[in-house]
Amino acid sequence: MMQRFILGKKNQITLILVILIAVAFFSKLALGYETVFFWILVVASVIGVAPIAIQAYQALRVKVVSIDLLVTIAVIGAFIIKNVEESAIVTFLFLFGAYLEQRTLNKTRSAIKELTEMAPESALKLMEDGEFEEVDVDEVDVGDILLVKTGAKIPVDGFVTSGSGYVNEASITGEAIPVGKDKKAKVFAGTILENGTIQIQAERVGEDTTFGKIIELVEEAQDSKSKTERFIDRFAKYYTPIVLVLSLVVGLIFQDIEIAITILVLGCPGALVIGVPVSNVAGIGNGARHGVLLKGSETIQAFSRIDTIAFDKTGTLTIGNPKVADMVLYDHKDYEIFKYLASVEKESDHPLAKAIIEHLGDIPLYPVEETNVVKGGGIIARVNGREITIGNVSLMNQVGIVLDDQALADIAHFEKMGNSIVLTAIDGVLKVLIGIRDQIRPRVKENLKKLKKLGVKNLIVLSGDNQGTVDLVASELGLTEAHGNMLPEDKSNYIKKLKEEGHRVAFVGDGVNDSPSLAIADIGIAMGSGTDVAIETSDVVLMNSDFSRLAHAIGLVKATVSNMRQNIFIAIGVVLVLLASVFFSEWMNMSIGMLVHEGSILVVILNGMRLLRYRLKK
């Protein structure tokens, strides 16, 4: 109980120490009371060393020789030789340094605190009597209907059932630009409805929401340790006893206890122990703020060394939603063509039919009298007494519709552009040719250029689509290699081959079929709108499938590793300079050594905190 009480009052003890030291020096310098000066510093030394000694004792109980033990022995040694001035100042500096260290470390974890504060606590739930009642968010179940008003946080993941508005999704995507939401639009917990009123149906609640998973992933990542951190922990475990032995040997050789206890203080590896974790925590925090989830310190190390990135095409480089890209009309006088086309395609749930309906928009429709679906070819229907044939070249040839030289040339051109072909004929005469293809994500090309500037040498697309379409995408985006007609196992085997050739490979994908490749790559990167399996398998998640976050992520991990090395250099450099100063200077003593030691800890922490403000240069 007493130990817990003392450790719980460390900050108050630090404040008492600074008051006692100030009073002691005032009594000596202003009033000339040497005896008062001595006894006040004795009291300060005893009070100050208490929490340090308790921490040293607790570490020894688990067979760890800690920094606290070095400082405790040094303070006791100084006390024995009646150098109470240094013993009091050293305890104050050590405790004050620990206070500043904890405070600045808390700032590096501010991303988690901010995320947690963004979590919604209540929701307006539709009750059995038809009224909306405010309930705790834990009382919301999947399928419940919720009301969200202007300025309120969206409490769960779900979709809009009625109403419309603009939602700030910065907590999920890192982008503060409001996104328009209307019926059937997806919404996420923790985002804010900036204007409008909507009703939503809950699909994911509590920890299962995207927001809940973000918090969980970032917490796990910040608590994980990289190989470098584990090495430094082991190093400190053996280094601290070595400093203890070194001080004993030096003390015996020089017959000078003051040199021995000074070495104990100067040799403390505090900056080395704290330097690497603070860099990793700050890097992970920055990523969380900018829509990039880095799953741990190990990921940062591996990601920074990537030289090859392989991409799935659909849903990664492209939007994953095919749209009408090109169209040729062969009969400009038949004004009913698009009405017939829309009437028939409205009956189909094929992705290409949906793309055509979306492109044609709100258009008058005729009732469809009969339909005949030709497997692998298209559809033949009767509308308003006319025969409508919609499908590919094979279907047109099969039913005897003539494709003249111009039509064949147009078809060849459309296919070369990577389009899926949809032909429409009315009463046996070709009327319109439509080309449909998946659209490349906005600004992908410029972001791929950024990746090259960041040191990624090979950019490869692996797709199950036909080779011609994949080649077209690769050519447009300036990719290094393009491989089409690949099954999921072909992709993972190709990544395995790249790794065997010595490349450090990242794979970017979004679907269940991408999971084997995400798992086998050195770094798996999932698009945030992808499947749960892909997100769970990956090491990095780009929230909201924002491709521009990839360049930020690579720049961030490289900056984090560089920052980590800087901290290691600062920590080791300071210790070597301090130890050298003991033997080659006359100004070095315990107090100055502790001041520099605590200063070095603050330097590495502040250096690490620079990562919180990191942004990729334009």
Q: Which of 241-250, 318-327, 552-561 has the highest mean pLDDT?
A: 552-561
List the CATH number of the domain containing 331.
3.40.1110.10
Task: Give the mean model confidence (pLDDT) for residues 122-142.
Answer: 87
Q: Quote the pLDDT of residue 384.
A: 87
Question: Residue 254: how many CB atoms within 10 A of its CB?
Answer: 12
Q: Quote the pLDDT of residue 557.
A: 92
Domain boundary among 403, 437, 471: 437
- C-alpha 260/C-alpha 255 separation (Å) is 9
Least confident of 95-109, 493-507, 512-526: 95-109
Q: Quote the pLDDT of residue 408.
A: 92
φ/ψ of residue 198, rounded to 5: -135, 155
Domain boundary among 414, 437, 460: 437
Same domain, 103 and 23: yes
% of the chain with per-residue pLDDT over 90: 13
Same domain, 235 and 104: yes
At 304, list the tokens. 């920074």
% of the chain with per-residue pLDDT over 70: 83
Least confident of 34-48, 220-234, 457-471, 553-567: 220-234
At 353, list the tokens. 């039919």
At 466, list the tokens. 């036909």
- C-alpha 594/C-alpha 94 separation (Å) is 7
Q: Does 232 have pLDDT greater than 80?
A: no
Which of the 8 DSSP states describes residue 12? H
Q: Quote the pLDDT of residue 215.
A: 63
Task: Give the mean model confidence (pLDDT) for residues 312-327.
Answer: 80
Same domain, 315 and 344: no
More confident residue, 224 or 505: 505
Instruction: Report yes or no: 310 and 457 within 8 Å, Cβ to Cβ.
Output: no
Same domain, 314 and 351: no
Same domain, 422 and 445: no
- C-alpha 617/C-alpha 587 separation (Å) is 44
Q: Quote the pLDDT of residue 214.
A: 61
Residue 266 lies in a domain: yes
List the CATH number of the domain containing 468.
3.40.50.1000
Tens of pLDDT, residue by residue over 418-440, are: 777 899 999 999 999 998 887 78
**Closest to 270 measured CA to CA, from 107, 96, 75, 111:** 96
Look at phi and psi of residue 593 and say left if phi exceeds 0, alpha if psi is from -120 to 50, else beta.
alpha
Residue 524 lies in a domain: yes
Q: Quote the pLDDT of residue 390.
A: 92
Same domain, 450 and 585: no
Residue 155 lies in a domain: no
Catalytic positions: 312
Q: Does 460 have pLDDT greater than 90?
A: yes
- C-alpha 299/C-alpha 297 separation (Å) is 5
Q: Convert 572-597 to b/e letters by CB count within 10 Å (16 or more is b).
A: eebbeebbebbeeeeebbbbbbbbbb
Residue 205 lies in a domain: no
Residue 133 lies in a domain: no
- 585-to-582, 588, 589 alpha-carbon distances in Å: 6, 6, 10
Q: Quote the pLDDT of residue 166.
A: 84
Q: Quote the pLDDT of residue 116.
A: 58
Same domain, 29 and 57: yes
Which of the 8 DSSP states describes residue 179? E
- Please give the full DSSP string across 244-272, using - where no structure is assigned: HHHHHHHHHHHT-HHHHHHHHHHT--HHH
Same domain, 367 and 314: no
Q: Quote the pLDDT of residue 221.
A: 47
Q: Does 540 have pLDDT greater than 70?
A: yes
Same domain, 328 and 377: yes
Residue 288 lies in a domain: no
Residue 190 lies in a domain: no
Least confident of 187-201, 234-248, 345-359, 465-479: 234-248
Q: Quote the pLDDT of residue 111.
A: 47
Q: Does 175 have pLDDT greater than 60?
A: no
How many structural domains compose the chain?
A: 3
- C-alpha 280/C-alpha 270 separation (Å) is 17
Q: Does 531 have pLDDT greater than 60?
A: no
Residue 75 lies in a domain: yes
- C-alpha 13/C-alpha 27 separation (Å) is 21
φ/ψ of residue 105, rounded to 5: -65, -40
- pLDDT grade for 189, boundaries at 50, 70 and 90: confident
Same domain, 85 and 227: yes
Task: Give the mean model confidence (pLDDT) for residues 507-535.
Answer: 71
Enumerate residues 6+ apart whose C-beta is below 8 A from 107. 609, 612
Domain boundary among 419, 437, 455: 437
pTM of the complete model: 0.64
Averaged pLDDT of the chain: 80
Q: Quote the pLDDT of residue 426.
A: 92
Look at phi and psi of residue 324 and say left if phi exceeds 0, alpha if psi is from -120 to 50, else beta.
beta
Q: Does 308 have pLDDT greater than 90?
A: yes
At 591, list the tokens. 């107090």
Same domain, 327 and 305: no
Q: Provide the residue range defining the domain that includes 306.
A: 295-319+441-545
More confident residue, 170 or 485: 485
Q: What is the residue type of 500?
A: E
Same domain, 56 and 102: yes
Q: Quote the pLDDT of residue 174.
A: 45
Least confident of 268-277, 305-314, 439-448: 268-277
**Closest to 167 measured CA to CA, from 142, 141, 198, 138:** 198
